[in-house]
Amino acid sequence: MKSIFHKTRTRIGMAVICTALLSGSAFGQRDLIYNDWPMFEQPALPEVNQVKFQSDKLVPLWVDALQSDNRELMRLAAHSVAIAASRGLTDLEVATPHLLKLVTNKELPASIRKTAMTALVRLEATESGPQLLALLSSCSIGMKQVIEPTLAQWQTDGAREYWL
């Protein structure tokens, strides 16, 4: 009995020692791979100077598209104005009255009106605040979710009275 117990204990001991030795070398190899292989390093990217170019034909083209009869063209033009405003393009203020007409036109689909409203927000057209405040009583909840935070940010006169 003593010899069987002794052999079993010896085998278990050898298994523990082998496991410890093998696992240690495996972790060492993992460290070597992650520390020495160039594929695991972030590449050095050169700094790129971006040059912003704005064609003189863009804004008049967008204004014409905002006045067109094609509804999809109106929506795309309003979306383009919103993107251009967020990227810092200049001379977009001429589109403000046309965007305001789209927002207040109740015959247009909500997608066009909401896109035009987003463009007004990005243009920071604070002069359109009173018209937007008047629109609050008859617009959808989706439009209200865009208009109300904008009026609060612009601190439009009369907005507090509407909410309170």
pLDDT in tens, 63-115: 999 999 999 999 999 999 999 999 888 889 999 999 999 998 989 998 999 99
Tell me: pLDDT of 26 over 60.
no
Look at 100 and 137; give whichever has higher pLDDT. Answer: 100
pLDDT digits (tens, 9 = 90+) for 146-160: 888 888 888 888 777
pLDDT digits (tens, 9 = 90+) for 75-88: 999 999 999 999 88
Nearest to 126 by CA among 103, 153, 146, 106: 153
DSSP 33-80: HHHH-GGGSPP-PPP--------TTHHHHHHHHHTSS-HHHHHHHHHH
What are the residue ranges spanned by the domains of the chain? 2-40, 58-163
Q: Please state, in angstroms and rounded to a whole number, the distance separating the CA atoms of residues 50 and 137.
A: 44
Whether the CB-CB separation of 115 and 132 falls below 8 Å is answered with no
Q: Please state, in angstroms and rounded to a whole number, the distance separating the CA atoms of residues 84 and 90.
A: 8
Identify the architecture of domain 58-163 in CATH: Alpha Horseshoe (1.25)
pLDDT band at 128 (very low <50, low <70, confident <90, very high): confident
Whether the CB-CB separation of 132 and 151 falls below 8 Å is answered with yes
Whether the CB-CB separation of 86 and 122 falls below 8 Å is answered with yes
Q: HSE, CB side, 13 Å, CA atoms: give it for residue 80.
A: 16
Nearest to 54 by CA among 96, 83, 97: 83
Angle at 40 between CA 39 and CA 44, to 5 degrees: 80
84 sits in which H/E element: helix 71-86
Q: What is the mean pLDDT of the chain?
A: 82
Position 107: which residue type? E
